[in-house]
Structure formats: structure tokens, C-alpha cells
Amino acid sequence: MFFMSDSNRVYIFDTTLRDGEQSPGVSLNAEEKLQIARQLVRLGVDVIEAGFPVSSPGDFRAVQAIARDVRGVTVAALARAEKPDIDTAWEAIRMADQPRIHTFIATSDIHLQHKLRMSREKVLETAEAAVKWAKGYTSDVEFSAEDASRSDPDFLCQVLETAINAGATVINIPDTVGYAAPDEFARLIREIRSRVRGIEKVILSVHCHDDLGLAVANSLAAVMAGANQVEGAINGIGERAGNASLEEVIMALHTRRDQFGKITRIRTQEIYRTSRLVSNLTGMVIQPNKAVVGRNAFAHESGIHQDGVLKERTTYEIMNPVMVGLSHSNLVLGKHSGRHAFRERLEELGYSLNPAELNKAFQSFKVLADRKKEVTDHDLEAIVEEEIRMVNPVYTLDYIHISSGSTVVPTATVGLLRGEEKLQEAACGNGPVDAICRAVDKVTGISCTLASWEIQAVTSGTDALGEVTLKITPDGKRFYVGRGISTDILEASTKAYVNAVNKLIWDSENGK
């Protein structure tokens, strides 16, 4: 557990793996969660909320794996204010370097009447009992008053004081449905600061949702009003419209330190890579105009803007792109580049690959370099993330043959490798992508429905890499994200579909 040693410090609580995974259509397996958790450690977050262990056996195992693997960071597990939830949460995180149990109960009359069907007295009793029970396991206990922003302030302060007296070390004020406005939310934080006895002894946290597009604004207003922990998710993913985007909160605090006067321990150069990893593994594509990490965040098309930036970057850029991990190296890689230059460039981009991963990535780089004159940093990022994303895939793509046109029935022949075994099937479809999916289904014996399919260019030009992100479902309930890259859209689609099938197999074999 940690306590505030610096009044200017803002703690960053990342809930990408818990609230972020609750985004519709997102389902991460344990290995993917572990990949993101390791990157969050590199980013420098203070707390990783690894999941909601009681929600499923798979989530329990993922939280447990993170608690055992990562060090130097607090690992939190969410639990309702119920003893079985808290017991399960502790069992999942007990091996963590710095374990935290995060328990919650709603405090608004809307939730009490229609969801909990509890009296205010019963909520007070339940909150106190839950914090005390959690405190029996760990000294670090966070208490959240769900729907705090729509709660009666008098009752809310009473609940918070009860939780502190019971042993809570972190008090969280959620704007659960994104209803608050910045000035209003700041007033609530100031009121809590002034009225709740013992609040000065704990960390005061906020967790804002983006239903009205105000999550980041509300979080920053809360910091100005005295909050010292901000909860959010990378890329702002989460329930409904999502959470506060942590990268936006972090860079706002960093860029406008003159206004906020606050610091974090975040290594901002890891922001872009973290954002890309979360996007790739969740299948949630980042909108081009997304602040800080969007493709257009540091792009300038206006002639006036271009002229200004060329003369002095700060005329139109308030942040240096290097600060968030975007590189503008002059090193050009092509088909004649060697392994040493390739490895050096990856290290500059923040990738540290073991020999096996480096060999796989280098071979893919050589194949791409034969197709393209120059290989860009974005190409390299796509190659590395493609090669190291799935551990020991059951199936890999060997080849595809496509027959398609306006006057023929689209037909795909797909060759897959299962270890040393070569498998091949052909199928017809409504289009070439449909034919590919059906052929892969015949090879694997797994029948899935293609729920979504998206493509975007990784780089520009006629020889650009295409990045296909798709989702498949075997039953309409479970969804698996697949991603593939290639200069050939149909090859990228095949890779993405096979990638998603491998994830489905992984989950089936691991009992998720």
C-alpha cells in the first residue's frame, strides 16, 4: 500500500483490464491481459485494476496471473460489497507485490430503490462490513460509492465517513453514468474534502464516464478541487461511451503543469505504444482525430499550419510527438537492411524482443521489404505486434489462392499449417472474404460467424500495409478479435480470421 508523500502527486489508476474490457464486443484472454499489464508497468501507472475475479473463472485466472507476474505496481481486484466477492478477489491477488481490494456499493436513491432495493441504513451497514472484511485480508482497501454524482450529498458524506472509519485507504467518487458537469463535479469534490472527517488521511479518487463527452474534463476539474487519484482507461474504452482517456488526462497534467501544478510518475514516451497494444488486442480502432494518440493528432494539412510548424514546431503543436512515443527517425529500412539495423530500430521504438521473436519479426520484415521500397516505423510496429501477439498459435497461414470477379462465384483455397502438418480446403462464398472464412472453417472444423470486419491503411501509398481487424463469434455470445496485416487485403483478412480462431481455441483449451 502507498500513502501520499507529495501533495503535488496524482496517482494514475488504470482500469483498462476491468472497466475497459466491459466494452461491448471486447473479450481478452489471460495472455492478452498479461501483455497489457506488462506494458502498463512500463508506462508507469500506479495501480492496475486487473479485473473482476468473481465474474468468471477466466477472469479469476487472468487476475491471478497478473498478480503473480507484475511487480512494482499495485494490483487491484474489484468486488461487490459481499463477502464471497471479497474472498474471491483476495484469492486472485494474494500473490501480488502490492495487493488492493476494491469494493463498492451504490449510494444514489435511484440505485437504492430500483437496483439494490435497500434502505440507506442497510447500505451504511453493508459498506462498513465490506470494508472491514476486506481489511482483514490487506491493508490497502479502496471503497467506491457507485453513482456518487447523483447521490444525496449528505448521505454520500455519511457513507464515505463510515468507509474511512472501517479502514478504507482510498475513497473513490465515480460519475458512473457520465452525468456531471465539470463545475458541478468539482464542487462535489470540494464538499467531500471539507465535510468528510478523516478524508485527509486517505487518497481521494475519481472515476468518470464519458456519456456526455466530459470524462476527462470532469477528472481534471476534480484534480483542481483536491482529488489525488484519477481512474480511467487507455484510449478511453469502457462501458457505453467509455471512461476518461488516461493518455489525455496524463498529457493535460504534463502539458499544463502551470495550471494544475501536479505531477505523475508516468513515462509518457510509452503512451503511443500502450495505446496501439490496447487497440490491437481489443479490436477497437482508434479514431483518426483522437487526442494525443490518433493518427491525425500531430498531422498538419493546412498550408498555413505546415509553414508555421516548419518554422517553429510550437506554433501549432502544444505537445512534442516524441513525448508520447512517436519517432521521426531518418533511418530508412529496406530490403538490403540487415538484422543489426532492424534490431536497433526496434529498440529505438521501445521493443525488446527475445531471439525467437526477433527472428520471426525479421523474416516478416524481409518479406515486406521485397514488396515495398521503404519500410516505415508504422510498418515495423505492425510487424512486431503481428508476430508477438499470439503465443504458440495452433494454426498459421501457409498460402491462399483466390478466384473472384463480377462474373464468377468467389472461391478461396486456403492452406494452413498445424505444426508440421499441412492442411488445405476450398470453399465458395458471397464474396472473397466470405469464401476465405468458410475455407478456414472447413480446415479447422470450427464454424464461426463474422461479426465485424474493418480495414485501415497502416501507411500511405499504393504499397501501403493494410490492417484488417475483425470479430468472430461461435455462438453469438462470445466474441474474438483477430488482426492481420499485409499489402494484400485478402491475405490480411485471412491472417486476421486465423488469428481470431486461434484465440477461440486458446480459450476453449484453457476453460475460459
Q: Is 209 left (phi over 0), alpha (psi -120 to 50) or beta?
A: beta
| Inside any domain, residue 476 | yes
Residue for cell digits 516548419? 310
Q: 115 and 39: one domain?
A: yes
Choosing from 213, 247, 282, the residue where a domain stops is 282
CA dist., res. 383 & res. 380, Å (int): 5
Residue 149, Cβ neighbours under 10 Å: how many?
23
Choosing from 213, 248, 282, the residue where a domain stops is 282
pTM attached to this predicted model: 0.79
| Inside any domain, residue 116 | yes
Average pLDDT, the chain: 89
Task: Give the CA radius of gyration of the chain.
Answer: 24
Choosing from 282, 310, 339, the residue where a domain stops is 282
375 three-class SS: strand
CA dist., res. 209 & res. 195, Å (int): 25
Q: CA neighbours within 13 Å on the CB side: how many for 481?
A: 26
**Looking at per-residue confidence, does 416 or 384 come out higher?**
416
Q: Which amino acid is at 156?
A: L
Spatial contact of 95 and 64, defined as CB atoms under 8 Å apart? yes
Among candidate residues 392, 408, 480, the one with its CA nearest the CA of residue 437: 480
Domain that holds residue 131: 11-282
| Inside any domain, residue 458 | yes
- Residue 413, pLDDT score: 97
Spatial contact of 435 and 402, defined as CB atoms under 8 Å apart? yes
- Residue 328, pLDDT score: 53
Q: 384 and 431: one domain?
A: no
Task: Count up the domains in the chain and report the number.
Answer: 3
Q: Beta-strand (E) ranges in 222-317? A: 229-232
Query: What's the pLDDT tens digit per position in 161-177?
Result: 999 999 999 999 999 99
Q: What is the DSSP string of 110-142?
A: HHIIIII---HHHHHHHHHHHHHHHHTT-S-EE
Q: 252 and 378: one domain?
A: no
CA dist., res. 299 & res. 285, Å (int): 18
Query: What's the pLDDT tens digit per position in 70-89?
Result: 999 999 999 999 999 999 99
Helix (H) or strand (E) holding 342: helix 339-348
| 47-61, 261-275, 482-496: segment of lowest average pLDDT | 482-496
What's the whole-number mean pLDDT along residues 95-119? 97
Q: Is 405 left (phi over 0), alpha (psi -120 to 50) or beta?
A: left
- Residue 302, pLDDT score: 58
Q: 373 and 428: one domain?
A: no
| Inside any domain, residue 318 | no
Q: 352 and 411: one domain?
A: no
- Residue 385, pLDDT score: 67
Take residue 423 and report the three cell numbers written for it: 492442411
